A and B are shown apart, each in its own frame.
Chain A
Amino acid sequence: METTFLAIAVLFGLGLYIILTHQNLIKIAMGIGVMESAIILLFIIFSYRPGGTAPILDADAQAYDLIVDPIPQALSLTAIVIGAATTALMLALIIKIYNRYNTLYIDEIKKLKG
């Protein structure tokens, strides 16, 4: 459990570090993707119960002893769909910026803007 929390914290910090230090816009979009994966991993950890079965039941619900929490699974499905949509929007905006300034690096874009 603690190892997974450590992995989540490291992944989140890694994504934030990429966003803060890198100049390339596509790498910044990748950093946001890494942070999203950390959040989804957090949802999985919250829904996990040792020995539980998947929340797809039979007609009688009492046949199972332990079932993992279905709510974080529904929330992480939402997070995945929204993440894909925002990534697509980011890439479209990056295409627009590249068409206009002919570069992907933030510093050069700032210089070109004057």
Chain B
Amino acid sequence: MRKFASLVVVVILSSLLMMTFLSLSTADYELSEHYINYGVEETKALNLVTAILFDYRAFDTLGEATVVFAVASTIAFLVPKRTASMISARFSIIMQQTTSLVIPFLFIIGAYIIAYGHISPGGGFAGGVILAVITILITVTFGIRYSDRQVRSRIKSFMESFGAMGFVLLGLLGMALGGNFLANANSHFNLGVPGDLISSGIIPHLNVMTGLKVAAGLSIMFNSLIKEE
């Protein structure tokens, strides 16, 4: 009975969605045309997605980063503090050696994706996830005690707070220089030449802050979820 009722509700809702999709008129592309035509000129960042995330809508990104921060602290608070490991499987020496071989390359890829976020695909969020994968790999392979000894949780929470504070302080810098909160071109930064590594004002710095924050937040989340009483 319950399954039949849910099926009816789902079918009605899906067909409503389908009818809405089919009756959509062609969208108004005025805003995206502006971004495409003047985005590189105004922000000096070649990657338009990064330009939108960290320049035009940087305030939105600040809210998003706050969500990651709030979730990481909630999970660390919710889940028990004792460090009995859930993963008790002992991996062979091949697995352990391969993991320690791969980790430096992962670090390089993550740092590259964060640092070149305004020139090539990537950015703070993607690179931060790759950096978080390092601690997740260490935890899965060598156990949570070793992982907590290598990357202490005090360092991770310092990184997370540093990223959040740095993001807000860079925004306030824009206000101090006479623009709006998180203003980039309005606050008379030297934006540089598009395509250079040090260019486009505060965008690379915001990328680094977001990368630190996401990396620390995700590894705190994973290490908290893996613990059990």
Point out residues on A near B: beta carbons under 8 Å. Answer: 2, 5-6, 8-10, 12-14, 16-17, 20-21, 46, 54-59, 61, 67, 69-71, 73-74, 77-78, 81-82, 84-86, 88-89, 91-93, 95-96, 99
- The reply on B97 being an interface residue by CB < 8 A is no
- The reply on B35 being an interface residue by CB < 8 A is yes
Residue contact B79 to A96, C-beta cutoff 8 Å: yes
Chain B contact residues (Cβ within 8 angstroms of A): what range? 35 or more
- Residues in B whose Cβ lies below 8 Å from that of A88: 71, 75, 221, 225
A–B complex contacts, Cβ < 8 Å, 17 sampled: A9-B15, A13-B11, A55-B48, A55-B49, A56-B48, A57-B40, A57-B48, A58-B46, A61-B38, A61-B39, A61-B40, A70-B48, A71-B32, A74-B49, A82-B64, A92-B224, A95-B228
- Residues in B whose Cβ lies below 8 Å from that of A17: 6-7, 10
Within 8 A of A (CB), among B194-222: 194-195, 214, 218, 221
Q: How far is the CA of A78 from the CA of B17 in the complex (A)?
A: 23
The smallest beta-carbon distance between A14 and chain B, in angstroms, is 8
- Residues in A whose Cβ lies below 8 Å from that of B64: 78, 81-82
- Residues in B whose Cβ lies below 8 Å from that of A89: 71, 74-75
- Residues in A whose Cβ lies below 8 Å from that of B7: 17
Residue contact A70 to B79, C-beta cutoff 8 Å: no
- Nearest residue (CB) in A for B70 is A85
- Residues in A whose Cβ lies below 8 Å from that of B218: 84
Q: Check A21/B6 contact, CB under 8 A, given A9-B17, A13-B13.
A: yes
- The reply on B121 being an interface residue by CB < 8 A is yes
Residue contact A20 to B10, C-beta cutoff 8 Å: yes
Q: How far is the CA of A9 from the CA of B11 in the complex (A)?
A: 9
Q: How far is the CA of A66 from the CA of B6 in the complex (A)?
A: 44
Partner of B67 from A2, A10, A85, A96 at Cβ < 8 Å? A85
- Residues in A whose Cβ lies below 8 Å from that of B225: 88, 91-92, 95
The smallest beta-carbon distance between B66 and chain A, in angstroms, is 10
Within 8 A of A (CB), among B42-81: 46-49, 51-53, 57, 60-61, 64, 67-68, 71, 74-75, 78-80
Q: How far is the CA of A57 from the CA of B48 in the complex (A)?
A: 8
Task: List 9 tightest A-B contacts by C-beta distance, closest first.
Answer: A13-B14, A20-B6, A55-B48, A5-B21, A85-B71, A70-B48, A74-B52, A9-B14, A69-B32
- Residues in A whose Cβ lies below 8 Å from that of B32: 69-71
